[in-house]
Structure 1
Amino acid sequence: MCGITGLVNFEDSVLLHNMCNVLKHRGPDADGFFQNKNASLGIRRLSIIDVDGGNQPISNEDGKIWTVFNGEIYNYKSLQEDLKSKGHKFQTNSDTETIVHAYEEYDLDFVNHLRGMFAIAIWDEKKNRTILIRDRLGVKPLYYHIQNNKLLFASELKALLEYDEINLTINHNAISDYLTYLNIPAPETVFNEIKKLRPAEMLIFNLDGNFYTKKYWSVKFQKNNLDEKVRMVSDVPVGILLSGGLDSSVVATIAAKKSNNRLNTYTVGFENKIDNAYDELKESKEMAEILGTNHHEIVVNSNDTFKILDKVTLCLDEPFGNPTTTLNYIISEFASKTSKVVLSGVGGDEMFGGYPKYRALQIFQEYRKFPKSLVKNFGRIFEKIPDNTSEHVVKGKTFFKAWKKNPEDQYFSLISYFDEKDKEKLLNFKTSLSSRRFIDDLFLESKKSNAKSFFEKLFFVESTSYLPNNILEYTDKTSMAVSLEVREPLLDHKIAEFAANIPFSLKIKNGSTKNILKIAMKDELPRNVLNRKKRGFTPPLINWLNNSISDLEARYFSEKRIKEEGFFDYEYIEKISKDYKNGKTSNYVKIWSIICLQSWFDVFMKKYNFTI
């Protein structure tokens, strides 16, 4: 796992080294550079495979093709043998060198021979072009800037900000998108001048300045074997992020069976008894005892998370409203003390139908002929009940609000936090594009992958939007900030193709989510793990906000600050905050998302030269 960067069509050694230094946290073990007048590549390396011999950049035999990459190629050994049989000469035993020879052999189609997670940059002197590639599911990020026939790229956006000639301007449409999704979907970023590759996308940039992007993969429908796909290719110790839930327990169980060593497992819990409903310390400890792992626990409180918000904001590069980001940073930092690589159960919900929103959408389909008048009446009843009566009341309000005629409208309602009317009240600027454009485009695109039913289309949309733009984005940034590689075995692309082919009725059956995964693991996992109610890896944010709302308001929502910035409408913020304190707890996500956006302004405006 590494941080990569590069320049094309100009040479600037100082800039290249500065960009690499910004990425040092991603690769503290070594750095490496290739430079000529047309292209320069840089890397910070976290040594995992071929620790002594796998330094980058690396070239083919005649030095005409060079590459740097971030990630791991899990099938590199078999691919290496195949390439050797075709006459290629290898100087190392690293997965990186496999990339350059595979490209030499198969040209742009080489990526279809790779299995793993990766962000790759290749400089091809023979064809005078640079190729940037992001892995199929979007595990590893890659940002780029193109201006005046020049290309700059990096694993993190902040590295590109070392280039003084980028005249940064805030992308107002992206801010609006953030308020809808709590993240900024690719290819957009918070700055108009910088883009990021989408999952399974490659960018081909020619020295004449012409460039284009193309998608090289989408989910296919074919059978596969789940057990074979837990990837543990590593020359350093491997650990597991263990919540005690189904997905991480599946990964931990299979990994423990395949490992000859006693594995480390890591769990985060919460200090206050009032937060026990979110705490999985007991469950994860029980699972660790069953597997015989070296189990490590860390306990946190609201102060632990709020005090590192700005630090985590810097790690994330862009505004990010998912409240799990600080938790992920804490558990990653904790795990990095004893492991360089950890496995995670991320992706299980998207692959096998684990989220409550999926069950809601299934209910909408099953009861689509239910009288709309009754739906509206139930919705009105829930609206009259105060939010703070019960968490179920808030969920009920969300459910009935989303019960619309069109399934795509239902889905968009369930995943939206600020609707367009809310944003018009909050923002002191107009946007030119609707945030729904991403979802509408993906539903249309899903048809190209032969998705026919709504739930097949939904699988495509979720695996190309929510998963990479939200879950995988913060997982990469918060773990690599502390030099920890996180691997997601359930997101091997062959598993994605397998999961796409499972009828949705087998994923959620009789109200039981991830039903097919539970059946597959019924002889491997205890019954209480299989039947455990989903909690999700999330902090007790409402409880924490209740304890700290006054301090947070003073820092982020003061009338003086809001009016000086001129970005938000102070009266609207004052209203949602007042309503929250008066019992409308459903406002907590809106409040948190604005806090995170204000934190981003604080961190990046102090460090870089741009204005709101």
Structure 2
Amino acid sequence: MCGIAGIMSRAIGRGPDLEQISAMMAPLRHRGPDQSGVYLDPHLAMGNLRLSIIGLGDGIQPIGNEDGTLWIVYNGEAFNYLELKGELVEKGHRFSTSTDTEVLLHLYEEYGTSCLQRINGQFAFAIWDSNKQELFLARDRVGIRPLFYLDTPERLCFASEIKAILALEGSRALDLEALAEVFTLWTTLPGRTVFEGVRELPPGHFLVAQKGRPSVPQPYWQIPFYPSDPALHDPEEAAEQLRELLTDAVRLRLRADVPVGAYLSGGLDSSIIASLISRQGTSHLKTFSLGFQAASFDETRYQRELIDHLGTDNRQVLVGNDEIRAAFPDTVWHCEKPMLRTAPVPMFLLSRLVHDEGYKVVLSGEGADEILGGYNIFKEAKIRQFWSRYPGSQRRPLLLEKLYPYIFSNPSRERHYLQEFFAVRDQGTASPFFSHEIRWENSRKNLTFLSDDCRSELAVYDPLARLAETLPEHFGERDLLARAQHLEMELFLGGFLLSSQGDRVGMAHSVEMRHPFLDYRVIDFAFRLPARWKLRGLKEKYLLKRAFKGLIPESIGNRNKQPYRAPIRELFSPLAPRDYVDDLLSESSLRQSGYFNPQKVARLYAKFLNTPTGLSSEFHNMALIGALSTQILHEQFVKGERLRSLGRLSPDRVVRRGGADAGPGAR
């Protein structure tokens, strides 16, 4: 795992230089602390900071082909690289390293852009063809590894993180439409960032740039949708296929020249992954888990059951409110977007523990809920659809109380109000957003806290209308679960879970996360399953539980999913220390940045401080976290003081070609 950056010049005779690419690489030190290298010619500069996992002794990048016409910088893993290498050797390709990086370079040399279809991995890479003066940028299917770019009149810049681009180009304003997307959808739409002009290459896409001008990103993979496969209607046969696929996905993801650990939440998905690792013959498996001082968030009991069952060597970080509050600004710095929840912060602290224990790689269970029907939002949509057939029923809405007992048991909320809250809206179940409409309608109330000027600028922008324009053809004809799964994967998985709770907080401490459930073969299989093998009645992940029954403790296999959450309102209690929060949420700071209505936010914050148990409204919790994280972004990236303090990086290796200025490290 690594960090990459690059500059492709449009100016004749004014190519990028070593100082510029070194400035971009400096903010990425955390992604690749082991080695650094730069390629430089009159048209292009690109660099890599390496976290060495495969080919420890010969993997420094950039890497070129035999005649030096193709060069690659790469962030990620191609888990099937050994199989690909064997095929390429048979075709006459010669290799000088033991890395998967070189395999990808030769794969592109052999197949061009169609090479992407052959890679089973998580990646973002850049390949430079010096003969054609053509740059090829690509990103993995579901967006596990990030890649951003900025197209200006002078040059095209790209990098693994936005801060690398801003270190070269200077601070940029926040994009108000992107803020509206975050405060509605919890993330930006694919391809967009919260910084004006900075784009993200969407998952499953590539682009080609010539003479510094990028093409429109082209998809090579999309979230699949299939009619139900008759061959998968026997649950026992389907369970066996799922078990085999996931076992092989774990096998591939254990490939590394360093020790591999696992995250252990106490839930079904991470328990299955840890168990499969143990069955692969891995002795003395090291696992890492989160514990919370707040009992309602803590799953230590279930973690302990699996630790005892497998005999793993477990390390736990115990997270309290003070730790979350203290680490929140650093987490925002690495995530580079506003947050409506604090959930990324404990994951940031967990990856620090992994790093401190000397590990670089962990496997985790992300993706199972999206592809196999694990979320409450899928159940909620099914209940509401069932209720809509008999809107006057008094019994059907009671299923919602079974789904959300902690909501309906709150004495401050009346049952009839909550039933109205979940009732089917005007468009009924035909709405393409039926499954998510309540979540998004509730979230978009956060926009009322924006300043009058911002709300005026956003008066004609509707994130949901923009999202509707991106939906696949005939989306509305899919069954309810398939539509909900698509929305969850398209937005929340790539835009939040794999970034703010995945790559960004893991790589903040030089830790690579690998996700067997997101092997593209497992995804493809899951989307061929009948809906009833994912969500059977209100039993989530039915087939997954059937496939691994007996492999994990029964108490874990049969428990209902506990959504991963972290404290919010406790952070703003009267007992919290007076620090950056008070400063950034003060009326003067809010007025100066200009995003929020100072009086509204200040009043909301005062309510938190004056209510010992905080506020019960999820909407208010999200509003305050959203305002605070946006204020932090403004300080860090728009005002840019932290950016200016990053300095330069001196690369370990410099490859200069084609008339680039000679100097130290020239090859």
Scaled by the length of structure 1, what TM-score is found?
0.91
Q: Does the 8 Å contact 1:312/1:326 carry over to 2?
A: yes
- Contact preservation (8 Å) 1:388, 1:583: no
Q: 1:329 aligns with which of 341, 344, 348?
A: 348
**Is the aligned partner of 1:459 residue 2:485?**
yes
Q: Relative to structure 1, is the Cα distance of residues 548 and 297 closer, same or farther in structure 2, using a 3 angstrom cutoff?
A: same
State the distance in 1 between where 2:94 and 2:57 align: 19
Partner of residue 491, structure 1: 518
Question: Is the Cα contact below 8 Å between 2:265 and 2:289 reproduced in 1?
Answer: yes
Q: What is the aligned partner in structure 2 of residue 256 from structure 1?
A: 278
Q: Tell me what 1:507 maps to.
A: 534
SS in 2 for 1:68: strand
Q: For residues 473 and 276 of structure 2, what CA distance do their matches in structure 1 show?
A: 32
1:243 aligns with 2:265: yes
For 1:326-405, list aligned pairs within 5 A: 326-338=345-357, 339-371=359-391, 390=410, 400-402=420-422, 403-404=424-425, 405=428
Partner of 1:284: 303
Instruction: Select 1:473's aligned residue among 476, 499, 502.
Output: 499
Could you tell me whether the CA contact under 8 Å between 2:266 and 2:306 is conserved in 1? yes
* Cα deviation code 1:116-175 (max 9, x no counterpart): 0000111112322111111001000000011115211000000001224x5723211011
Aligned to 1:299: 318
Match of 1:415 among 439, 446, 453: 439
Q: Does 1:19 align with 2:24?
A: yes
Counterpart of 2:582 in structure 1 is 554
Instruction: Tell me whether 68-77 or 431-440 shows the greater mean CA deviation.
Output: 431-440
CA distance in 1: counterparts of 2:312 and 2:333, whole angstroms: 33
| Greater mean deviation of Cα atoms: 15-24 or 565-574 | 565-574
CA–CA separation in structure 2 for the residues paired with 1:416 and 1:548: 32
Structure 2 match to 1:599: 632
- Equivalent position of 1:524 in the other structure: 551
Supply the distance in 2 between the matched residues of 1:398 and 1:118 (Cα, whole angstroms): 44
Deviates most, 531-540 or 276-285: 531-540
CA deviations 1:425-459 (Å, max 9, x no partner) are 533312242121453234x32648x9732322322
In 1: Cα distance, 2:299 partner to 2:407 partner: 25
The offset of 1:502, in angstroms, is 1.8
Matched-pair contact (CA < 8 Å) for 1:446–1:457: no
Aligned partner of residue 346 in structure 2, secondary structure: helix
Percent of paired sites with the same residue: 28
Q: Which one-letter code corresponds to 2:487 in the other structure? A: V
Equivalent pair of 1:313/1:603 in contact (CA under 8 Å) = no
Do 2:340 and 2:626's aligned partners in 1 also have CA atoms closer than 8 Å?
A: yes
After superposition, residues 98-109 of structure 1 pair within 5 angstroms as 98-109=103-114
Match of 1:585 in 2: 617
Amino acid corresponding to residue 590 of structure 1 in structure 2 = A
Structure 1 equivalent of residue 658 of structure 2: none
Contact 1:417 1:589 in 2 (8 A): no
Q: CA RMSD in A?
A: 2.9
Partner amino acid for 1:335? V
Q: Structure 1 487/551 Cα, relative in aligned 2: closer, same or farther at 3 Å?
A: same
**How far apart are 1:527 and its partner, in Å?**
1.1
Q: Tell me, in whole angstroms, the C-alpha distance in 1 between the residues paired with 2:412 and 2:585.
A: 29
Does structure 1 residue 6 correspond to structure 2 residue 25?
no
CA–CA separation in structure 1 for the residues paired with 2:415 and 2:204 = 34
Distance 1:305 1:609 in 2: 21
Q: Which residue, out of 564, 567, 587, partners 2:592? A: 564
Deviates more, 1:482-491 or 1:528-537: 528-537
For 1:216, the equivalent position in structure 2 comes to: 220
- Counterparts in 2 of 1:507 and 1:567: CA distance versus 1, 3 Å: same
2:365 and 2:516 in contact (8 A); partners too: yes
What's the secondary structure of 1:161's corresponding residue?
A: helix
Cα offset, 1:21, TM superposition? 1.7
User: Which deviates more, 529-538 or 322-331?
Assistant: 529-538
SS in structure 1 of the partner of residue 388 of structure 2? coil
Residue type at the aligned position of 2:498: L
Amino acid at match of 2:387: Y
5+ long unaligned stretches in structure 1: none
- 1:176 is aligned, of 157, 173, 180, to 180
User: Structure 1: which amino acid aligns with 2:317?
Assistant: I
Residues 123 and 145 of structure 2 are in contact (CA less than 8 Å); yes or no, is this contact kept in structure 1?
yes
Contact map agreement 1:447 1:457 (CA 8 A) in 2: no
TM-score, normalization by structure 2: 0.84
* Partners of 1:182 and 1:593 within 8 A in 2: no
Residue 67 of structure 1 aligns with which residue?
A: 72
- In 1, Cα distance between the equivalents of 2:61 and 2:418? 50
Matching residue's letter, 2:6: G
Pair 398,77 (structure 1): closer, same or farther in 2 beyond 3 Å: farther
Q: Give me the whole-angstrom Cα distance separating, in 2, the residues matched to 1:27 and 1:395.
A: 53
1:210 deviation in Å? 5.2
Look up the SS of the partner of 1:195 in the other structure.
Answer: strand
Q: Which moved more, 1:584-593 or 1:168-177?
A: 584-593
Structure 1 position 203 matched with structure 2 position 207: yes
Q: Among residues 10, 26, 39, which one is paired with 1:34 in the alignment?
A: 39
CA distance in 2, matches of 1:90, 1:392: 67
Q: Tell me how far 1:388 sits from its aligned partner.
A: 10
* SS of 2:197 mapped into structure 1: coil
Return the alpha-carbon distance in structure 1 between the equivalents of residues 411 and 630 of structure 2.
26
The match for 1:441 is 469
